[in-house]
Every structure is written in structure tokens, then in C-alpha cells.
């Protein structure tokens, strides 16, 4: 099961595990900052209105539209490897294919060339030369 809690400043997503003897424990999955002045809509929920926790793009589409650079703004309180974040965000490339971007030094975090195992946290700007 999943649970979502909000304490006014953060929204926490938890996975809830229950063993055969009835004991439960929670594992925090993600944490997001709340946005002030938002109102809850009453009625049914339309998934097309929801915003994603991360962007999802296809490199082929960007190249076809003439883009040469992909820039991703990242903000989190937890550290995550940049290659894992990109594998979630880029739809049309496998992690093996994405590793070439790192070996060819086409990925920067805050204007610093990084490897795939570089851990990003807080506010970071990831740039990928397509």
C-alpha cells in the first residue's frame, strides 16, 4: 500500500509493508515541497490534470524539433544518482545508451562534467548535449 502525508511544508510518499503476523512498517519513497496558495478541487480526479514529479522526454523528438541541449532543473532533499534520474526522465534511451552521454562527457550538473554515479541533491541543473 502507499500513503501520502503532508505537514504543511512537505509532502511525503510512503510504501507500507505488512507481514503475515500483522505488523506493519513504512518506508519513505519520496518527499516534495508544498506549493503555497493551491486549492483542492472537489469532485472527480482527472489524471491529465496531474503534474509529474519528474519530466519525461524523448530525445528523438527533441532532435527532430532541432534542439541541441536538454536542460533539467532538479530539486530534492534526497540524493539520487544522475544516471538513475535520467533513465526515469528519458523515455527512448536505455541506461546503457545513456551511459554513452557520460563517457562522451556530454552531461553536466551545475556546469561540471560528471559521471553517471554522481549523486545530485538539492537544487541542480542537469544539461545534456544532444
Q: How far is it, in rounded angstroms, from Cα 60 to Cα 63?
A: 5
Task: Give every strand in the sheet of 112-113, ordered side by side.
Answer: 69-81, 119-129, 107-109, 112-113
Strands (E), the chain: 2-6, 10-18, 24-33, 69-81, 107-109, 112-113, 119-129
Q: Taking the CA of residue 103 as centre, how many other CA atoms within 13 Å lie in the half-sphere pointing to its CB?
A: 6
* Mean pLDDT calculated for residue range 26-31: 74
Q: Tell me which residue range forms the domain holding 112.
A: 59-129
pLDDT-based confidence at residue 40 (cuts at 50, 70, 90): low
Residue 68 inside a domain? The answer is yes
Number of domains in the chain: 2
User: Looking at residue 73, which CATH number applies to its domain?
Assistant: 3.10.290.10
Pair 67, 25 in one domain: no
Same structural domain for residues 108 and 73?
yes
Q: What is the pLDDT of residue 107?
A: 96
Is 52 within the bounds of a domain? Answer: no
pLDDT tens-digit map of 48-78: 333 344 568 889 988 888 889 999 888 877 8
Residue 42 lies in a domain: no
Task: Tell me whether residue 117 is in a domain.
Answer: yes
* 41 found inside a domain: no
36 grid coordinates: 503555497
Amino acid at each position: 500500500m502507499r500513503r501520502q502525508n503532508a505537514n504543511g511544508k512537505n509532502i511525503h510518499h510512503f510504501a507500507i509493508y505488512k507481514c503475515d503476523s500483522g505488523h506493519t512498517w513504512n518506508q519513505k519513497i519520496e518527499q516534495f515541497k508544498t506549493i503555497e496558495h493551491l486549492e483542492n478541487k472537489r469532485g472527480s480526479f482527472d489524471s491529465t490534470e496531474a503534474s509529474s514529479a519528474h519530466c519525461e522526454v524523448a530525445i528523438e523528438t527533441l532532435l527532430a524539433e532541432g534542439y541541441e541541449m536538454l536542460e533539467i532543473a532538479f530539486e530534492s532533499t534526497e540524493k539520487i544518482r544522475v544516471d538513475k534520474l535520467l533513465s526515469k526522465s528519458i523515455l527512448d534511451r536505455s541506461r546503457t545508451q545513456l551511459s554513452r552521454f557520460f563517457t562522451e562527457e556530454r552531461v553536466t550538473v551545475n556546469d561540471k562534467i560528471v559521471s553517471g554515479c554522481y549523486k545530485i541533491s538539492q537544487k541542480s541543473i542537469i544539461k545534456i548535449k544532444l
